[in-house]
Amino acid sequence: MPDQSDSLDDLDRRILNALQVDASHTNAELAKLVHVSPPTCLRRVKQLTENGVIERQVAIVAPEKVGVHLTAIVEITLDVQAADRMAEFERIVAAEPAVLQCYRVSPGPDFVLVVQVADMPAYHALAHSLFTTHSNVRNVKAYFSTFRSKFETRIPV
């Protein structure tokens, strides 16, 4: 998708910033926050969504409140880096709910994953099913979070 940041005007940016702070606002509340009429606000949000600027609206769940206490940042190096083999690995991790994020990276490992699971036994089970049984995974290096000092989903616009 082409970069649309140049086509965003001040109102679009105010709407995006307000929604990133709290997407649960009603259209009327959002319109008041960004100082426009409700019909204008609704039209702009719809346009931002249709253009793919707003991908989705979600609730952010506190992991510890739902029994998810372990965050791992996992580096994966594949044995074969052909495009089809990279895509195959991405399909496998995309199907695993515990993998919250997957990035192809360079240089260094081929992928970096952000994984959240209940505990270390759950991580071991995940590592076994995703990494050790996958014939193209050459190396796995995991880092375990001991404290989260910052977590933000907001992108400055």
The predicted-structure confidence for 99-127, as pLDDT tens digits, reads as follows 999 999 999 999 999 999 999 999 999 99
Residue 143 bridge partners (DSSP): 73
Residue 133 has a pLDDT of 87
Predicted TM-score (pTM) of the model is 0.86
The predicted-structure confidence for 3-46, as pLDDT tens digits, reads as follows 666 689 999 999 999 999 999 999 999 999 999 999 999 999 99
Q: Which residue in this structure is represented by tokens 């959240």?
A: 116
Residue 3 has a pLDDT of 63
Q: What's the angle, vertex CA 19, arms to CA 2 and CA 7, rounded to 5?
A: 30
Residue 16 has a pLDDT of 98
Cβ(75)–Cβ(131) below 8 Å: no
Distance CA 36, CA 20 (A): 18
